[in-house]
Amino acid sequence: MEQRAVIESQVRVRAKKKRRLNRRKLTINSVLTVLGILTIYTLATIVPAHFKVIEAVNEFMGNLKIMFLSPNVGNDTFSKLLSALGQSIYLAGLTTIAGAFGGFVMALLSANNLAPRWLSQIMKSLMASIRAIPTILWVLIYSVSLGLGADAAVIGLTFHSVAYLAKVFANSIEELPQDTIEALKVGGIGILPIIAQAVIPTVKSRLLSWTFIRFEINFANAVVVGAAAGAGGIGYQLYMASSFYFDFHEVGMIIYLILAFTFGLELVSRRLRAKFIEA
């Protein structure tokens, strides 16, 4: 009798597992089918009529060759380009520091093991909506109320950093067992000492390496903002060289400078990630 019950439950477990696997397969297949159809439709309609693709590709290849094989400083000087690169790095650094500070506060308010449920839900939705608006639009919005320049760029970039870091910080904080925090709360310890003595020491290294990852993203954003919102830096030089002077030699030089910096960052970031996030 008992044996039969065991067998029946095993059969049920197997059937459940099979259903789950089937559902998984079905979902994967339908996602891939939908994406495939959309892609084929887009590819079929994307090339404009009478567009000479081969000529364009040849020209593009020619430009790439100019860029990568014969870079030079063009109308600017090397030191000017370096200082422009520096500007973008400072912008990235500034917005990362401000973003980490704001993001940490927001993360405390949105981690569901620290904040009350209603607050955590509100904060998470708020952060998600800030993240949904592209960084460049934040910068443009602020450039109307503050004027074009560093102020608008810093505040616009910080907005997105805060929302991004709030999410990843909150995820890290939420990995702390609820029981630990409950126990401390029951012990009569206030929320601030809990944060200072339990939360920060535990998640410190993770937060640092996420902040570093955000620094990489912010550097890319700083370049973008320089080009698309006139906020200066290497992005502005890139924009001028490519769409005003049509000097692909200079574009090449600027890209090499950017690559040199980002490769350095990537090396550091890989070490940090291996040490703190994946371990």
Partner 1 sequence: MNQSAHQFFRHRNYRLLLLITEIVVLYLAAAALTGFNSSAWLATDKGIIWLAQNFIPNANSLQYMPDILAQLWQTFLIAVAAASCAAVIAVVLGMLGAQNVGLSKWKVGWLIRGFASVMRNIPIVAWAMILLFSFKQNELTGFLALLFMNIGFLTRAFLETFEDFDVKKMEAIQTTGATYTTSVVQAMLPETAVPLIEWLLYMIENNIRDATLVGLLTGTGIGFIFDLYFKSLQYGAAGMVVVSIAVLVIFLEISSNRIGRLIR
Query: Of 3, 145, 186, 187, which one interacts with partner 1 (CB under 8 A)?
Result: 145
Q: For 225, how many CA atoms within 13 A lie in the half-sphere containing its CB? A: 39
The interface region with partner 1, picked from 72-80, 113-121, 175-183, 257-265 by CB under 8 A, is 257-265
Closer CB to partner 1, residue 36 or residue 190? 36
Query: Which residues between 88 and 127 bind partner 1 (CB under 8 A)?
Result: 90-91, 93-94, 97-98
Instruction: Kindly state whether residue 210 participates in binding partner 1, applying the rule CB under 8 A.
Output: no
3-state helix, strand, coil in the chain (%, to 5): 85, 0, 15
Q: Is 23 in the site for partner 1 (CB under 8 A)?
A: yes
The sign of the CA dihedral 190, 193, 195, 198 is: negative
Would you say 114 and 108 are in contact if contact means Cβ atoms under 8 Å apart? yes
By beta-carbon proximity to partner 1, the closer residue of 188 and 201 is: 201
Shortest CB 118 distance to partner 1, Å: 20
Nearest to 252 by CA among 4, 34, 64: 64
Smallest distance from partner 1 to CB 7, Å: 28
Does 208 sit near partner 1 (CB under 8 A)?
no
Q: How far apart are CA 193 and CA 214, in angstroms?
A: 28
Q: How many chain residues are in contact with partner 1, going by CB under 8 A?
A: 72
Which of 9, 129 has the CB closer to partner 1? 129
**What span, in angstroms and rounded, lies between the C-alpha atoms of 105 and 97?**
13
CB-CB contact of 166 with 110 (8 Å): yes
Residues 171-200 that bind partner 1 (CB under 8 A): none
Structure tokens, 153 = 């760029």
Q: Which of 1, 4, 5, 48 is close enough to bind partner 1 by CB under 8 A?
A: 48
Mask for 52-71, x = binds partner 1 (CB under 8 A): ----xx-xx--xx--x----
Q: Which of 160, 96, 138, 97 is nearest to 228 (CA)?
A: 138
